[in-house]
Structure 1
Amino acid sequence: MITEHVSEQDIQSYVLKETALTEAALLHMQTCASCQAKLNMYEALFSSVEEMPKASFDFDVVELVMPQLPVKNKKINRVPAILSGLIVLAGLIGLPFLLFDDKNGSGLQSVSPWLFGMVGIVAITFIVISVSDMYARYRKQLNELNFE
């Protein structure tokens, strides 16, 4: 037999049939008036909670609450999508000229280094705009969550 009382958590788990008590705890429960009182109290409490009627309202909760919620205006930033579309379009238009231009021999050798520089500048600009847009959305989400 155990000398300590059975814990509240063990009694609750036993009443809810989540776990079984050890033999020593069961023996203690049979002989200890305090633990028996706790067991009876939790059995009555949990059975009354199960017997309670479900909460119901005599009015439409959705109709009452929805007008009070703030309306969020969704602003979609289309700049990165437009820029990427323009870059793809320029690439599709310019690629045949680069590949099939055989005036001076190989098509890619006749390409001016300025063209590669311009393509690099456009690509870097696109990356900078995309990253800045992603960072702006991140800051906006933090502000909405009140972390700043």
Structure 2
Amino acid sequence: MKQVHLSENEVQQLAMKLQQADPLQAQHLRECAACKTAIASYQAIFNSLKVMEGPTFDFDVEQLVMPQLPLPQKAVSNSKWSIIPTIGIAVAVFCIPIFIMSRFLSNLAKGIPEYTLYIIIVTALVIAGFLGREMVTSYREKIRLLNFY
């Protein structure tokens, strides 16, 4: 018959007396010196851990460490002044080509009624405005979370 030793988990459970040995384990423990030694070693370790004192400091760690930590500082943001030139450049990039090609664009829209074009243009501008505002708000929130500014 092949003799199988107890697993580490079983040895630890028996050493801590969390479980009782079943008949096969009890027979194995009577015959196996290695498993008896392992249980005795674990019992010695567990008993020494119960007796050991926890680590203590003779000073207040919080009072020693907290003054050394840097205080969070609110950074000044120039985002209001940097967005105005960006909007100006975006408007110029959009308007200059339209101004240059206005005579071609007027021929393009000849068959469409004037009020329909106004409705389409106003709707597109309103949607673009809301999307732009949402993009800027989302960007500012992400930057605020990263605490860069």
The TM-score, its normalising length taken from structure 2, stands at: 0.54
- Specify whether residues 42 and 76 from structure 1 end up closer, same or farther in structure 2 by C-alpha distance, changes over 3 A only: farther
**Residue pair 1:2, 1:28 contacting (<8 A) in 2 also:** no
- State the percentage of identical aligned residues: 28
Superposed CA deviations along residues 109-132 of structure 1, whole A, max 9, x for unmatched, are xxx736544432321112211333
Residue of structure 2 equivalent to 1:56: 56
Q: Which has the larger radius of gyration?
A: 2
Please point out which of 122, 136, 140 is paired with 1:133. Answer: 140
What is the CA-CA distance between 1:133 and the residue it aligns to? 3.3
SS in 2 for 1:73: coil
What is the CA-CA distance between 1:62 and the residue it aligns to? 1.1
RMSD: 3.5
Unaligned runs of 5+ in 2: 80-117
1:2-17 paired onto structure 2 within 5 Å:
3-17=3-17
Moved runs in structure 1, 4+ residues, more than 6 A? none
**2: CA distance between counterparts of 1:2 and 1:67?**
65
**Residue pair 2:14, 2:20 contacting (<8 A) in 1 also:** yes
What is the CA-CA distance between 1:6 and the residue it aligns to? 1.4
The TM-score, its normalising length taken from structure 1, stands at: 0.54
Unaligned runs of 5+ in 1: 80-111, 142-148
**2: CA distance between counterparts of 1:2 and 1:49?**
36
Higher relative contact order (CA 8 A, sep 6+): 2
**2: CA distance between counterparts of 1:118 and 1:31?**
89
**Structure with higher helix content:** 2
Aligned length: 108
User: Which amino acid in structure 1 is aligned with residue 31 of structure 2?
Assistant: T
- Specify whether residues 69 and 22 from structure 1 end up closer, same or farther in structure 2 by C-alpha distance, changes over 3 A only: farther
